Structure 1
Amino acid sequence: MTERIPTREGVLAAADSVAGILPPSPLLPVEIGGRNCWVKAENLQPIGAFKIRGAWWRLSNLTESERAQGVVAVSSGNHAQGVAWAARRLGFKATIVMPADAPQVKLEATRELGAEIVTYDRANEDRDDVAANVIAEHGGVLVHAFADPWVIEGQGSAGVEITQQLGRQPSRIIACCGGGGLSAGLAIACPEAKIHPVEPFGWDMVGQSLAAGELVRAAADAPRTICDALQPTATKPLNLALLSGRAEPGVAVTDEEVRAAQRFAFAKLHLVLEPGGAAALAAALAGKVPFDESSVIMLTGGNTDPSSFAATIAEGE
């Protein structure tokens, strides 16, 4: 069977579907270094992250027989909550494979949404293997966090909203990037915009893969990062194909740059961002990406542990 490829028609259909259940997330003006641009506050979604878009569109397109099986997803927390939220609203079972060291706030929120959680050891187990074993034993349809074509289209709905809110396509979109599902969806949604994927230092597998023209996996000794939401060990061929020749060169940000972005968002925008949700803003603040008054920075998530967030904010006082 030929693999389904995400399309702009699919992104537009996803945007219509998402608009039927959720209001647009705010597009807010911001001044950075004396220059104006915009931020898209996806951290204000019902689950605190943009992942609700792709999860809703994917689960909405399951057949009746697939719905009867339920769904299985792999996530450190935001995709988990998106899938759990959509599954509960649509009335079927969701099982989420999550790292045991995922932020407690994400584990608890996913469980509260009615999903069954299967944990794994991020250092010693392959999450895709764990998910495959769950499906082999109990059944279920895999909803991949970033390489599912419907998920990519759903994430692209944010680009449709941005275009409607601006009244035109943005000049560029700076996006937090894990596996590249959001960046790919935005590239399809906004063909006139430059797309800048931003990843944590040492985990910039999309950026490295784009530069190499082939998949590059994270090193076994990759550094620790506070951006738990942006740590897949590699992107997938579908995402690389959609972004090759379309995305700008990848950008990597450090933990300290991310913390500075969290503090900036709290002080200037009155928003709470988790580390992974602040990566794109970090790149702009650090001068690592260009932007103008038609540029949009994606603020992708706000599901942060209260104590670690408080410590980050206190560092700037």
Structure 2
Amino acid sequence: MEFILLGFADIPHLQWFLFGLFLIIYIIILMSNGTIFLITKIDPALQSPVYFFLANFSFLEICFVTATLPRMLMNLGTQRRRISLVACATQMCFFLLFGGTECLLLAVLAYYRYVAICNPLNYPLVVNRRVCIQLVTGSWTIGIPLMIVQTYQIFSLPFCGSNQIDHFFCDILPVLKLACGDTFVNMMLVYTIALLFVMVPFLWILGSYSKIMCIILKLSSATSRAKAFSTCSSHLMVVVLFFGSAIITYLRPNTRHSEGTGKMLSLFYTILTPIFNPMIYCLRNKDVIMALRKLLCK
């Protein structure tokens, strides 16, 4: 009827340090993404399609970290690591939904940037308000049935052995290890969804940025090239960090590996990238900085 999330129980002397660290990270993520979401809604200068994408992206980051971090903070603070079967299934479902949506939204942002740089004359036609709403709505909704089916299949399995999940949240692979039945079909579904929601968007992003790089190389101004390379390289760094850790976690062969490695990899795509994304995508943007200054002055 319940599981025990071991989390970081193997390092008891660092429990309060980790609690303070993750609490600070969570507050920073909420404040930075919440501020970006707020100013993109109230500032008239930030009503273009790109800021519509970034507002949705910031809201998604808040949802994504909230699916895992509050439970982890509660476990670190109270040392009560128990989680009911229903709560575990709910956490997994929302984590998968928000994670899949983030993969698709990152691909949409790459598409927007590709059109803006490689096809600027058609940009107003290709990236208009209606198309933006359709892309964002599709990113949020396309994964809902798949993630619900995935979660339902996993929690329909019998759990008759250990109830200790060696992770800090209810992730797919640690939970599947506790199942007593045949998990072949479940693993095939995990690989299929990981290919569709992780690998395909990642390859799309790499393809978009490779074409963007080709255009940048043709720029006559060295200053423009350096600025464009700086922006694209920072975007790619966060994308590779997020997708790389997710690909290694969900698409590596099912062999004996360190549980600590799995937990460390999951920290990259659940905590580190949400704290970097607002800095990389928004807080280096002059329009966002101006809007932030106006808000602070008011």
Give the structure-2-normalised TM-score: 0.28
Which one has a bigger Cα radius of gyration? Answer: 2
Whose helix fraction is larger, Structure 1's or Structure 2's?
Answer: 2
Whose strand fraction is larger, Structure 1's or Structure 2's?
Answer: 1
